[in-house]
Structure 1
Amino acid sequence: MVLHSVVITIQGPMNSGSHAPLILLMLEQNLKGHVKRCPLLKQAQSLSLQPFYQKGINAGSDGEEQEEEERLGVDGSRLPIMTVSSEMKRNAVNKMSVTEFCNLIDKIESLHELLCKDIQDSFHMPDVCSLWIKTRVEERKLPFQEKHITQQASIVGNLENIGVFKKSLGRNPSECEEAGEGEEDSVPAVIEFGAGRGYLTQMLADCYGIKRVFLVERKSYKLKADRSLRQNESLMLERLRIDIEDLDLNAVESLQGVPFVAISKHLCGAATDLTLRCCFPPENRKDNSEPRTAKSNFGGLAIATCCHHLCQWKHYTNKRYFSDLGMTKKEFHAITWFTSWAVDANHGLESDLPDTTDCRSHLQSIKEQGNGYANGVEKVLADMEAAKRASLGFKCKWIIDMGRLMWLRERGLDAKIVKYVPPTISPENHLLIARPSNFV
């Protein structure tokens, strides 16, 4: 007897760093039985029926007509854009000539020196969060490590610092619910993107009396904060199990017309860009570069970025920023790959790394030894000191986030980037914060 196998492709919630569909291999004779009970297929079918599900609505595009045409299949259907993996990025860098590589590094140094100024430390620990933490420690109800608490409190504190949330000075967490009574219209809803177990939202809800909470997360988690949050009868909690790429916020019925604040603690790679586009969709739902003003129900934003090496040209919100700087799609992916050097080892404080002058001096020595690098960029990288690679990685991270910052400002927002925790707590310490410019 000959047994045939079949491949099943299921398109459901996926990792933001890898958008390949899930592929299952099984015997053909078992297919019907599997389809009837497959939980992933049922989940994907259920999701597709939700009014807020629209495949790829926040994905963006390459913005290059020639490549768009090449992605049409033989039957005229549009083929998915392939994710550029870290290995592909590395191989592309290694194929550069030494001159091309040196010119790219020189661009990075110049752009960082020009653009990344006045980036301030902004570590905050609101009094109400300190009281909340102390109470939780005493009651042994703290479900996460101290470094995570510090990051969560500072994200909340930065929102308070720019006026998105009312000052918490002197308020006890147990009094928040009473303080919020009669002020419900002034308390925004909170949408936590990439919410995971929802502990950032839990701190915010407990300390500031938020009345509406939306948790956006593609995965299913155990030991999450939902159980504790649902015990608060005055809190409306809704968990949306969906990839941010496919979420149409305008179609979430319970959110329509409700002022909201978007938050996230560590949105990996392209997930930051997907979230920004989700909060500020263009009118025609295409990834054009025309600035759109923030909607009237947008109340503020605090997003901690991370994993810049996973960023993709297709998803990046501000391609025009890179193009105007004379950077190509290929150079963008090289820059994203360099960012992994910033956090791949313990390099100490960012301020202790080599400065631009030192790095440029190193570049000049490479150019002068051109014959010594006949084997190409791979040899150059192998000879680079770890501290110099780390310095380059940090600068690339700032350049990528500066493009996102400018994109927010183009939409009429009062926005900035800060270092919201010391690098000793987390080297991924960039926080994008924004509020409407007419905020009172």
Structure 2
Amino acid sequence: AEIPVPASPAREPSRFCTAGRCAYFVERKKRFCKMAPAPGRRFCGEHGQQEEENGRKRIPCPLDPKHTVYEDQLQKHLKKCNSREKPKPVYFVQDINAGLQDVAEIPEKRVPLSSLSKEELENLIIKLKKASNGLEFHLKEQILSHQALQEALNDPKNGESAFKHLKQQASILGNMEKLHLLGPGRCFIEFGAGRGKLSHWVDVALQNVEDVQFLLVERATTRFKVDGKHQRRDSIFERLQVDIQHLCLNKVPILEKKKLPVVGMGKHLCGAATDLALRCLVERYAACCDAQNEEPAPKRSRTDQAEVASNSSADNESSKADCKPVAGIVIALCCHHKCDWTHYVGREFFKSVGLGPVEFHCFQRMSSWATCGMRETTNKASASEASEEQTGDTEEHEQAFSKIESGPDTLQGILTVEERKEIGSLCKRLIDHGRIEYLQQRGYKAVLQYYIESAVSLENVLLTAVPSLLFPSVSGNSKYANQFASVEK
């Protein structure tokens, strides 16, 4: 039943080819292929080129050389190959949210931090502190919860990892409720949705609310079992498989049809993805919607013009407040070391404080110093989790820290661990402040705050933004008076 092969040290782990299995030896894995060949054949379809079959030859697929195809069936295969380029969805617009187009601003060579001299590093830190001087970096805590997650938070079956994610989701929903963003007649867009759990809990919180839409933006193709829980008839869930860089919200059919104001949200939206999402919302979608709503005014007589002159300003402000395309933004920030000058929305702020792409690139990498303890904590937590469900809850940003270069500390003797953490945090806040100014310049009241304890997640800063026209000091709308009074404090 087994075909012996010559014994050798390399093949010692698997010396026999099991009958009914492919006879191809996979050198990299030091074992035979486990695929089943066709009746009467020694090799499976993937390794069929190893034997002659009536003169037919197998060749690597030109679209993906990782698999092979019969040469005489190549044209037929190319039409159905999973690696073929698929038609782009209507909302795909190449690099619409990419940002910087002038490659002249991007430095050709990025110098690693380990190659910097002590003097160069000290000069960078001086620039960092000078640029931060006068800016408010002491964030206030806004750790909230939401009734929708109380049952899950009290469930003893949840492990430590699942409990931490639930606490973060509960606080995000609590902050959204405080800003009056959880309401009817809105489209909730979760950027970097992954499993879509944040949208799931928003749906639970809005179970008695009508006319609510959900768009889950994720470039990966994987879907998770959470999608099966979205059964309510009065809410619609739709996944958009597209990179945020190429997403044009104005062309998404549901938004084109219903014209609902949107609420952008994200739980740990890594690095440049935050900048892409902000530009997608306030620079593309909001601007296009405002432009479409600006219709030429009908002609009036001079007496009519005089009659409505006194009321026009107030009416315009009121209508703008009611019809703002982006009702709010709530994003838990993370992975500043994955930011990119090309996509960064705060470039103008950096330039205003005498910084450029070279300094940004250094600060972006130095920002990882703020969470240098994350790696050890994550490894311990993942080792203690036994169930598949809890292991799957590990966020992408947590896995990224294990990929940060390890080895001898090149900064030993220059900076202590505490100094590195302090400088890393300063880099994060400086990058985030550029995002705040970007939003403020476009008519939004933007705030940074701690939304969860650092023991739950070291990436514990939440960015929230709402249209400035909704503030009582501007629009006189008493509905939001209590809401924004607390934000101002």
CA distance 1:187–1:285, change in 2 (3 Å) = closer
One of 150, 153, 174 as aligned partner of 1:157: 174
- Partner secondary structure for residue 455 of structure 2: coil
C-alpha contact (below 8 Å) 2:263/2:327 kept by paired residues? yes
CA distance in 1, matches of 2:118, 2:465: 40
Aligned to 1:215: 216
Contact 2:249 2:285 in 1 (8 A): no
CA distance in 2, matches of 1:423, 1:313: 28
- 1:220 aligned counterpart, secondary structure: coil
Partner of 1:410: 441
| Alignment check: 8 A CA contact 2:267 2:331 kept | yes
- The percent identity for this pair of structures is 32
1:326 correspondence with 2:361: no
Aligned counterpart for 1:125 among listed residues 145, 157, 168: 145
105 and 147 in structure 1: CA distance in 2 versus 1, 3 angstrom threshold: same
Alpha-carbon spacing, 1:215–1:36, altered in 2? closer, same or farther (3 Å):
same
Separation in 2 of the partners of 1:218 and 1:347?
26
Alignment of 1:138-217 (within 5 A): 145-165=162-182, 186-209=184-207, 211-217=212-218
Deviation at 1:418, TM superposition (A): 0.6
Task: Please give the per-residue CA displacement for 1:115-174, whole angstroms capped at 9, x wherever unaligned.
Answer: 23341111101234324644xx38x699970000011111111111122236xxxxxxxx
SS in 2 for 1:197: coil
Equivalent of residue 265 in structure 1, options 264, 267, 292: 267
C-alpha deviation, 1:97, in angstroms: 4.6
Alpha-carbon deviations, 1:52-89, whole Å to 9, x = none?
Answer: 0111111112545x46xxxxxxxxxxxxx99x9xxx75
Give the superposition deviation at 1:249: 0.2
With structure 1 as the length reference, what TM-score do the two structures score? Answer: 0.70
Change (3 A) 1:346 1:192: closer
Higher relative contact order (CA 8 A, sep 6+): 1
Q: Give the match for residue 86 of structure 2.
A: 45
Q: What amino acid is the match of 1:338? A: M
- Alignment of 1:60 with 2:58, yes or no, is no
* Residue 196 of structure 1: how far off its partner (Å): 0.5
SS in 2 for 1:266: strand
* Aligned 8 A contact 1:116 1:399 in 2: no
Using the alignment, how far apart are the partners of 2:285 and 2:276 within structure 1?
Answer: 16
Letter in 1 for 2:443: G
Q: Would you say the 8 A contact 1:347–1:390 is kept in 2?
A: no
- C-alpha deviation, 1:29, in angstroms: 7.2
Distance 1:122 1:223 in 2: 30
- Scaled by the length of structure 2, what TM-score is found? 0.63
User: Where does residue 314 of structure 1 map in the other structure?
Assistant: 342
**Aligned partner of residue 438 in structure 2, secondary structure:** helix
Residue 108 to residue 261, structure 1, CA distance change in 2 (3 Å): same
Give 3-state SS (helix, strand or coil) of 1:280's partner: helix
Name the stretch that deviates more: 105-114 or 424-433.
Answer: 105-114
Deviation at 1:336? 0.5
User: Residue type of the partner of 2:124?
Assistant: L
Instruction: Indicate the residue corresponding to 2:245 in structure 1.
Output: 245
Opposite residue 228 of structure 2, the aligned amino acid is R
The counterpart of 2:332, out of the listed 296, 304, 328, is 304
Q: CA separation in 2, counterparts of 1:347 and 1:113? A: 30
Tell which deviates more after alignment, 383-392 or 313-322.
383-392
State whether residues 448 and 463 of structure 2, in contact with CA within 8 Å, keep that contact through their aligned partners in structure 1.
Answer: yes
**More deviation, 106-115/293-302:** 293-302
Q: Distance in 1 between matches of 2:167 and 2:329?
A: 18
Alpha-carbon distance in structure 2 between the residues aligned to 1:155 and 1:283:
23
CA distance in 1, matches of 2:330, 2:362: 27
Q: Is the 8 A contact 2:446 2:463 kept in 1?
A: yes
Q: Is the 8 A contact 1:414 1:436 kept in 2?
A: yes
2:214 is matched by which residue type in structure 1? V
Q: 1:374-413 maps to which residues of 2 (within 5 A)?
A: 380=411, 383-413=414-444
CA RMSD between the two structures: 3.6
- Report the secondary structure of 2:331's partner residue: strand
Query: What amino acid is aligned across from residue 251 of structure 1 in structure 2?
Result: K
Query: What is the number of residues matched between the two proteins?
Result: 346
The alpha carbon displacement at 1:347 in A equals: 10
Q: Residues 272 and 338 of structure 2 are in contact (CA less than 8 Å); yes or no, is this contact kept in structure 1?
A: yes
- Matching residue's letter, 2:168: Q
Is 1:104 the counterpart of 2:124 in the alignment? Answer: yes
The match for 2:78 is 35
Cα distance in 2 for residues equivalent to 1:63 and 1:387: 38
CA–CA distance in 2 between the matches of 1:347 and 1:111? 29
